[in-house]
């Protein structure tokens, strides 16, 4: 196959994966106009339209979908095989993309990377902050981080953090005149700060335990975020009760800026796990990162 054809196909695959000429051009390190020209050349040579372009989106035609599904996996396999050659280097090398929540990055991943990266100068790690449940294969991530119970069964997973509780907190000023909830059911009378699930569109149910029985509360309130840190900031302003990972709230509780309630009903959640498809096992760089992130009690 001529080199031009390989380059054209790589350009097409980048646009198909990103669904955007702008993002694909940035990833390939070329201008958007140059990338658009390359794809048009491929379409002209094949005599078939592969992409439908609008001012807002790029989508695959039926022919483009067939080409994407037909050649994409082969290029992925070539890329994976090239990565296995790094085992012949003295030190692991390669680029690794991980998707994780803001909390997982701050609490688990970043503290460990501060020790890992200086000792592995040829490994580059890209962290994508995302609170949804991305399809890491489709989105071409090397791995993702979720709480253990959320990891898909067909993935390999490694625990990278301990189990942890969530805490219900509010500013002392919030409780003035409203009283303190003594039981999770009392939350129906309180202004609660919701957190939205990006993947499913709904809100988190606040989970509790009472004598071994699970309680899931659908709370109501004036505010909602998709980030625990913003929920804490709103709680600090006295705007409602927040339900967040305990470590996010503890510094403010210690300073007396937040008050914790319903602690006796707070269960421990399954800790964070790094998950990935089996083909990633062959990359020495990824194996080194997994070992560095692994939770050691």
Residue 77: predicted pLDDT: 76
- Interval 40-85: pLDDT, tens: 888 888 888 888 887 677 888 888 888 888 887 877 777 767 666 6
For the chain, the domains span 3-84, 93-153+279-293, 164-269
- Interval 153-182: pLDDT, tens: 778 889 999 999 999 999 999 999 888 999
Query: pLDDT-based confidence at 280, cuts 50/70/90?
Result: very low
Task: Enter the DSSP assignment of 188.
Answer: G
User: CB–CB of 16/44 below 8 Å?
Assistant: no
Pick the CATH number of 93-153+279-293 from 3.30.559.10, 3.40.190.10, 3.30.70.20, 3.40.640.10: 3.40.190.10
CA dist 10 and 218 (Å) reads 47
CA dist 270 and 266 (Å) reads 13
Cut 0.85: pTM above it = no
Q: Which runs of E-coded beta strand occur in 26-78?
A: 51-53, 58-60
Residue 54: predicted pLDDT: 73
CA dist 156 and 287 (Å) reads 12
Residue 20: predicted pLDDT: 82
Q: What DSSP element (H or E) covers 100?
A: strand 94-100
* ∠ Cα 34 36 39 (to 5°): 110
Q: Which of 26-30, 132-136, 261-265, 281-285 has the highest mean pLDDT?
A: 261-265
User: CB–CB of 22/28 below 8 Å?
Assistant: no
Question: Pairing between strand 164-170 and 268-269?
Answer: antiparallel
Residue 229: predicted pLDDT: 92
Query: pLDDT-based confidence at 134, cuts 50/70/90?
Result: low
**273 strand-pairing partners:** 146, 159
| DSSP secondary structure letters along 110-130 | HHHHHHHHHH-TTEEEEEEE-
Q: What is the mean predicted confidence (pLDDT) over 260-278?
A: 90
- pLDDT mean across residues, the chain: 86
Q: Which of 8-12, 51-55, 83-87, 184-188 has the highest mean pLDDT?
A: 184-188
Same fold for the pair 93-153+279-293 and 164-269: yes
The total number of residues shown for the chain amounts to 297
Exposed/middle/buried for residue 134 (C-beta within 10 Å: 0-12, 13-18, 19+): middle
- Interval 206-222: pLDDT, tens: 999 998 899 999 999 99
Residue 109 has pLDDT above 80, yes or no: yes
Q: What are phi and psi of 154, to 5 degrees?
A: -90, 10
- We find that the CATH architecture of domain 164-269 is 3-Layer(aba) Sandwich (3.40)
Residue 3 has pLDDT above 60, yes or no: no
Q: What is the mean predicted confidence (pLDDT) over 231-257?
A: 96
Judged by average pLDDT, the poorest of 29-33, 216-220, 222-226, 235-239 is 29-33
Could you tell me which CATH class the domain 3-84 is placed in? mainly alpha
CA dist 11 and 30 (Å) reads 10
Closest CA to 275 of 175, 141, 181: 141
């Amino acid at each position: 196959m001529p080199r031009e054809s390989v380059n054209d196909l790589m350009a097409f695959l980048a646009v198909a994966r990103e669904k955007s000429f702008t993002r694909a051009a940035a990833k390939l390190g070329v201008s958007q106009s140059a990338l658009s020209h390359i794809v048009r050349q491929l379409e002209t040579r094949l005599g078939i339209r592969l992409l439908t372009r609008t001012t807002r989106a790029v989508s695959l035609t039926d022919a483009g979908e067939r080409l994407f599904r037909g050649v994409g996996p082969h290029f992925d396999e070539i890329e994976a095989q090239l990565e296995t050659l790094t085992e012949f280097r003295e030190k692991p090398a390669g680029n690794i993309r991980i998707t994780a929540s803001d909390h997982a990055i701050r609490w688990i991943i970043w503290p460990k990377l501060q020790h890992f990266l200086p000792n592995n100068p040829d490994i580059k790690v890209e962290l994508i902050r995302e609170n949804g449940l991305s399809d890491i294969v489709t989105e071409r991530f090397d791995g993702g981080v979720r709480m253990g119970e959320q990891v898909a069964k067909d993935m390999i997973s490694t625990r990278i953090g301990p189990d942890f509780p969530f805490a219900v907190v509010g500013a002392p000023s919030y409780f003035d005149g409203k009283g303190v909830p003594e039981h999770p059911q009392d939350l129906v009378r309180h202004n609660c700060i919701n957190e939205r699930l990006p993947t499913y569109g709904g809100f988190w149910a606040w989970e509790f335990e009472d004598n071994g029985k699970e309680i899931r509360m659908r709370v109501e309130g004036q505010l909602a975020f998709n980030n625990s840190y913003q929920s804490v900031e709103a709680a600090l302003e006295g705007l409602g009760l927040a339900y967040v990972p305990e470590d996010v709230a503890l510094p403010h509780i210690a300073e007396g800026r937040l008050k914790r309630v319903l602690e006796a009903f707070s269960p421990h959640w399954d800790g964070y796990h790094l998950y990935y498809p089996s083909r990633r096992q062959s990359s020495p760089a990824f194996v080194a990162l997994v070992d560095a992130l692994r939770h050691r009690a």
